[in-house]
Each structure stands twice: as structure tokens, then as C-alpha cells.
Homo-oligomer: A and B are copies of this chain.
């Protein structure tokens, strides 16, 4: 229905001929349209990636605002530097030290959430037709922004230990042989969104060695690294070397997304360009948001708060894994050791996108796997989020999902007993831009 409305609007848009070529890469993601569905209170949403911010201590933000406004109100209300508040950038080096990164605050650029970090990196590096490598599946917001700069997104296969170095090497060889230019590898090493897997310690230097040898950048997106449930993940890839890596961090998951504060840690020359791009995009990031977070990091037990989040999300992960084991024993899923997501594989021949309206009728929402591929793959996959609903809601949600899946399986067996089923290949996949609309 949404689609019909949109195409009607576009037909009626008298300025159609004025849009830039890159506007064709802008399309509404499935996650977007799901936000509307999931907001109905009777629906258990296993779809969004909203952190459970009510777990933040009472008044901790008000106290920080009070201190900031009393001591540096005029500065918090004013324009700041394009690179971001120096005090906050110092604190950020302390945050990254927890992941083994030794960084200089001078190499940090503050962004309007880590999504804007992706936008700046894409703007700086992507010419139309350039190839960007990314796990398949990958973060829907990254696919969207690379696409909006007319990138050609090529997925690299990965497994339960994360990106496969040999598969990466093979993909680079193949794309290069086609005469195409690869600009960077985009990867989420810890508690992958949407797949929930973590890149193993031994593969990290191998992956970096490959990208450096081929003269392409490695963009390490790590919003979830501190939200581990048992042992911490291996140190960040950026801890191995400071050359050839753009590291993206965020306060959206360890504090709150409402401030829209993230950062990029970049090699010196690239950092200079990123600051110019940032000034061009927003003049300077919000002084108010930055100074409130800087004060929070200086005066609150932020590591204790992250521990609270860890315990909370671990309990929800456990609830989801238990419910999946009880209700959908014949399917397979990933077992995340941190983060927000479980990646569920349906039976061959099932269509996660077609099944979504049926699920919503049963009052449960999820994100179809197709949202996370640039090439329309993912039909038999589903992302389940355990970050926002309570353990009790998660159990109810998975029960409802199991009912829908069961109905679909019966239909499939009844009406298409011999229909050829589509088995997803785990070869690298490739799509030219502009890509198909994800809706």
C-alpha cells in the first residue's frame, strides 16, 4: 500500500526532472515501514533496533545538563568546532581503550550519530559505480547510504566466525578482474547487525592484511562491541594498526541514541578531509549534545551503566534463544554473544517478506532478510531483535512467530510438495546500482 502511495506521489511530482542521478538510489527501507507497524502497542516488535533507554539511571541526564548549563552554558548553546568538542574526544579515547585501541583525541571526528559517519565516509570516497565490499547480509543503513552515492555493493560470504579471509580474497580478485574499483570493505566485526556473529581473533589480522595489500580501506563499524554477554569480543581490528582503517563508534547503544553522537577515528590525512566534509554538512555537531555526554562520562559511572545494559540484554538474548529452541526446533539461528540480534534461517522455499503481513496479523513483527542485502537475497532469512521487548514479550513474540511459520510450512507442504526450492547460495553476490527497491 505504501508502495502504491509513493509511486503516485512520484508521478505527481512536477520536479521529477530536476533530481540528481543519486536520488534514484534513495528508497524507503523495510525497517522504516516497519517502524509504523511496530509502534502499535498490541504488536510485539522483534523488528527495530531501539536500545532499552529506560534502563538509564533516573536523573543522570538532567544532572549532566544542570552541570553543563551552570558552568559552560554559553558554550553549549553556541556553534562549536567542526571536528567536535575536545573534551568529549578525550573521553572517547578512554572508551576505545576498552577495545584495545590506543588513539589520539586529535584523530577523532564527532558525527551526528554513527550513521552520519557512514554518510561522510561515503561522500568522501564513493564515485558512482565504485565497488564497496560488505558482509552479506549487512547493516541496512549502510547499504542505504552507500547506495545513495551510487555505489556498487558486493557482498562477501561469512560464517559463524565472521568474514572469511579466503572469500574476501576471492571476491577482491574477481571484482578487480572485472576492471572495477574497490574503495573499501565495510565490516561489523562484533555482534554483527543483522547476523549476530563475531569475527574471530585469528581472522582479524588476516582481513586487515588483505585490505592493506590491495590498497583498499577497511571501515570498522563497532556500535555493539562493549555490549558483550560473557567474555569480551577480541580487540577491535583498529587495535592492530592505525593505518588503512576508519573506525566508527557510537553512543547510541551504550548511552542513548536521542543525542545523535557518534565518531570516526581516522588516519591523519583522511581525518582532515572528514572535518571539511563535516563542516560542509552541518557546520559543527551539536555542542549541547556533546557537552552533556562529555559531562556524563566525566561524572557518572558509565562503565557500570554499560554493565547494566549487558545484563539486561543478556537476559533478553537468553529468553529469545530459549523460546526459539522450544517453539521452532526445526529451524536454525545464530547464537550472539552480545549486541541486539539473532539471525534466523527459515526452511527452504519460505519467503520472509511475504510472510510478514501474516505475522503482523498475529501481532508479531520482524525484519525480513531481504532488507539486509543489496541484491534481493535473504528471502528465507529473518532478523529478530531482542533489545527492546521484555523477556516475557519476547517469549510471546516467538510463540506467535512459530504459529505463523508453522502455518506457512503446512501450506508449503500441502500445495507445493514437489516445487523446486530456492537454496541460497553462499557465493559472493553482486548487484549494479541503482538497485531494486527494497519495499
Which residue numbers of A lie inside 8 Å of B, CB to CB?
6, 9-10, 12-23, 26-29, 32, 35, 50-51, 53-54, 56, 59, 61-62, 65-66, 69, 73-82, 112-113, 115-116, 119, 123-127, 130, 141, 144-145, 148-149, 183-184, 215-217, 243-244, 252, 256-260, 267-270, 272-273, 276-277, 279-289
Q: Which residues on B sit within 8 Å (CB–CB) of A80?
A: 258
Chain B residue at minimum C-beta to C-beta distance from A182: B18
Q: Known contacts A123-B148, A273-B26; is A79 also within 8 Å of B50 by CB?
A: yes
- In whole angstroms, what is the CA distance A82 to B115 when docked? 12
Chain B residue at minimum C-beta to C-beta distance from A284: B260
Partner of A282, one of B53, B119, B273: B119
Contact B280 A119 (CB under 8 A): yes
Task: Say how far A292's CB is from chain B's closest CB, in angstroms.
Answer: 8
Contact B19 A112 (CB under 8 A): no
Q: Which residues on B sit within 8 Å (CB–CB) of A12?
A: 268-269
- In whole angstroms, what is the CA distance A62 to B115 when docked? 28
Contact B280 A145 (CB under 8 A): yes
Task: Say how far A52's CB is from chain B's closest CB, in angstroms.
Answer: 9
- In whole angstroms, what is the CA distance A114 to B15 when docked? 22
- In whole angstroms, what is the CA distance A28 to B69 when docked? 31
Q: Known contacts A19-B273, A26-B277; is A282 also within 8 Å of B112 by CB?
A: yes
Task: Say how far A30's CB is from chain B's closest CB, in angstroms.
Answer: 12
Partner of A281, one of B29, B119, B124, B183: B119
Q: Which residues on B sit within 8 Å (CB–CB) of A259?
A: 77, 286, 288
Give 30 CB contacts A-B under 8 Å: A10-B272, A12-B268, A13-B267, A13-B269, A18-B215, A18-B216, A20-B127, A21-B127, A23-B277, A26-B273, A26-B276, A50-B79, A53-B77, A53-B78, A61-B65, A62-B69, A75-B258, A77-B258, A78-B258, A79-B252, A112-B116, A113-B282, A116-B281, A116-B282, A144-B279, A145-B281, A148-B277, A258-B286, A258-B287, A260-B285
> Interface majority SS on A: helix, strand, loop or mixed?
helix
Task: Say how far A374's CB is from chain B's closest CB, in angstroms.
Answer: 14
Q: Which residues on B sit within 8 Å (CB–CB) of A62?
A: 65-66, 69
Partner of A56, one of B14, B77, B183, B256: B77
Q: Which residues on B sit within 8 Å (CB–CB) of A61?
A: 65, 69, 73, 77
Q: Which residues on B sit within 8 Å (CB–CB) of A9?
A: 268-269, 272
Task: Say how far A397's CB is from chain B's closest CB, in angstroms.
Answer: 20
The 4 closest A-B pairs by CB, nearest first: A13-B269, A77-B256, A258-B287, A77-B258
Task: Say how far A373's CB is from chain B's closest CB, in angstroms.
Answer: 17
Partner of A32, one of B126, B269, B279: B279
Q: Which residues on B sit within 8 Å (CB–CB) of A77?
A: 53, 56, 61, 256-259
Q: Which residues on B sit within 8 Å (CB–CB) of A270?
A: 13, 15
- In whole angstroms, what is the CA distance A267 to B183 when docked? 36
Contact B289 A6 (CB under 8 A): no
Q: Known contacts A13-B269, A141-B283; is A50 also within 8 Å of B26 by CB?
A: no
Q: Which residues on B sit within 8 Å (CB–CB) of A144?
A: 279-280
Contact B145 A19 (CB under 8 A): no
Q: Which residues on B sit within 8 Å (CB–CB) of A288?
A: 256, 258-260, 289
Q: Which residues on B sit within 8 Å (CB–CB) of A276?
A: 26-28
Partner of A269, one of B10, B279, B280: B10
